[in-house]
Amino acid sequence: MPFQPTLESLNARPVPEWYEDAKFGIFIHWGMFAIPAFATKGGSIGETFRDNYDTAVARTPYTEWYWNAIKVPESESAKHHAEVWNGRPYQDFREPFLEGLKQWRPDEWADTFAAAGARYVVLVTKHHDGYCLWPSAVKNRHEPDWACPRDIVGELAEAVRGKGMRFGVYYSGGIDWTFNREPLRTLADFMGSTPGGDYPAYADAQTRELIERYKPSVLWNDISWPGNLKNELRLFADYYNEVTDGVVNDRWLPMTRQRWLMRFRIMRRYVDGKLKAALQKQSRAESKGIIPELPPHCDFRTPEYAAFDNIQAKKWEATRGMSHSFGFNRGDTDADYESVESLVHSFIGTVAKNGNLLLNVGPRADDAQIPEPQMARLRGFGGWLQANGAAIYGTRPWTRAEGKATDGSRICFTAKGKTLYAHVLDPLRSGELVIEGDDLPNATQAIHVASGATVACARTEGGLRLTLPDTLGAAPAHAFALTP
């Protein structure tokens, strides 16, 4: 029976098994913003909002926000733009992007993502600057020639699917700076910036074009939706009826009267006062990222540079870059990127709590290449997943996500059928490991997933003792399969 544009029909639909099983996807932020490739460096996105609220949106570490940042005279980006680019219009970056695009080889990207262990790939098809990475038939009357003549979306979709991965599309539905060119400084400015007028119809038409032309397995909207709830539910029903195993994320808050009122400066200043006071009370640990508000319908949630503390009943997807930016930042050095070990640890913790990881790559625009520091992380991550994928892919949360060993080692748990996987996040310190917990299975032996080595184990008072051979070596994390 076709899905109907009602919450009753849409919310009864289960999350497709492929998405539950996939665990790891690649996000791609690539566009003309990667020509200047500049943003203020410092803390995370959450810390930026806490510590520099009055100009936070112009000081974001995200290079993909460059066009907005250079409109704010006091921002570092505006100063950089004047000094390095002589204040040229942002639109001038289009031609260098198209020139660099000549070197793009989508099959090479697909090979890289498959080797990293990704099961799906989500491409930013239109970010906040409004530039489309496909030759859209839906014309932007506010910015002529604002769609790429080369079909980046179609070529990458074909390459990714050719390697056995799913393909998804990101679309910035809530912001388009070609429709609303007012500079944004604060969170309230950001919240009130969704364009009205002819934009809701434009966004709806482009999203439908993406669905009909590319049949994406993931429909990943950003910020919010410019149309009303009725319009949105009709779009979801049409999408599910077209792509029967597709999924939509959570960044679809429809236009409401409350959101509409944020277009008025007096309302934004009132909200700014409340938000600034609340953010400044946060600790460093509390201000690392963003967790979007839950909309009336979605298949999964998308905390950004953040994670949930416990197992979630609702499927979720942690999204982050390898550094503080999604788009490529020329100023990033190897030290600015997360280590493979750190990425693996956060990934395991995410999977243990019913999440997937959507890890971003930010290619250069002048030669269409993925920078080597990012490639190194993908190789290391993929090497670990190749050895330990049995403890990740197709698993589900256990009764608890985390635990510890008697020596203090951190443990995360995943499960598949009758098998419990214990992931040890710290170096193996001695000839034995005692995992705490009366709820652990009564196993007499365990399998070290990466090597296939059999490990003797026995129940102890309050836990399970694993007798470790000396041959297991070093790794970002060790997974052990425990079967009763």
pLDDT digits (tens, 9 = 90+) for 166-202: 999 999 999 999 999 999 998 888 888 899 999 999 9
Query: For residues 203 and 259, what is the distance between their CA atoms, to the nearest angstrom?
Result: 17
Buried b (16+ CB within 10 A) or exposed e, 461-484: eebbbbebeeebeebbbbbbbbee
Over residues 359-365, mean pLDDT: 99
Percentage of the chain beyond pLDDT 70 is: 98
Over residues 460-476, mean pLDDT: 91
pLDDT confidence bin for 272, thresholds 50/70/90: confident
Both tokens assigned to 161: 């699917």
Is residue 286 predicted with pLDDT exceeding 70?
no
Buried b (16+ CB within 10 A) or exposed e, 145-184: ebbbeebbbbbbbebbeebebbbbbbbbbbbbbbbbeebb
Going from the C-alpha of 427 to that of each of 84, 137, 243, 410, the distances in angstroms are 46, 55, 44, 10
What's the confidence (pLDDT) of residue 261? Answer: 80
Q: At what angle do helices 340-352 and 372-388 cross, to 10 degrees?
A: 50
pLDDT confidence bin for 283, thresholds 50/70/90: low
Contact 59, 97 (CB under 8 A): no
What's the confidence (pLDDT) of residue 4? Answer: 98
What's the confidence (pLDDT) of residue 263? Answer: 83
pTM of the entire predicted model = 0.96
Query: In one letter, which amino acid is 9?
Result: S
pLDDT digits (tens, 9 = 90+) for 363-396: 999 999 999 999 999 999 999 999 999 999 999 9
What's the confidence (pLDDT) of residue 444? Answer: 86
Is residue 280 predicted with pLDDT exceeding 80?
no
Is residue 287 predicted with pLDDT exceeding 60?
no
What's the confidence (pLDDT) of residue 42? Answer: 80
What's the confidence (pLDDT) of residue 284? Answer: 54
Radius of gyration of the chain (CA): 23
pLDDT digits (tens, 9 = 90+) for 135-144: 999 999 999 9
Q: Which of 27-31, 100-104, 253-257, 307-311 has the lowest mean pLDDT?
A: 253-257
To the nearest whole number, what is the mean pLDDT of the chain? 95
Is residue 412 predicted with pLDDT exceeding 60?
yes
What's the confidence (pLDDT) of residue 430? Answer: 74
Both tokens assigned to 152: 């980046």
What's the confidence (pLDDT) of residue 282? Answer: 66
Is residue 427 predicted with pLDDT exceeding 60?
yes
pLDDT confidence bin for 1, thresholds 50/70/90: low
Is residue 12 predicted with pLDDT exceeding 80?
yes
Contact 194, 259 (CB under 8 A): yes
What's the confidence (pLDDT) of residue 285? Answer: 53
Query: For residues 371 and 361, what is the distance between their CA atoms, to the nearest angstrom?
Result: 9
pLDDT confidence bin for 288, thresholds 50/70/90: low
Measured in degrees and rounded to the nearest 5, phi and psi for residue 436 equal: -80, 145
Residue 458 forms beta bridges with which residues? 465
Domains of the chain: 7-391 (3.20.20.80), 402-482 (2.60.40.1180)
Among 101, 91, 259, residue whose Cα is nearest residue 173: 259
Query: For residues 330 and 93, what is the distance between their CA atoms, to the nearest angstrom?
Result: 15
Measured in degrees and rounded to the nearest 5, phi and psi for residue 136 equal: -65, 140
Query: For residues 21 and 220, what is the distance between their CA atoms, to the nearest angstrom?
Result: 18
Percentage of the chain beyond pLDDT 90 is: 83
259: left (phi over 0), alpha (psi -120 to 50) or beta: alpha
Over residues 240-269, mean pLDDT: 89
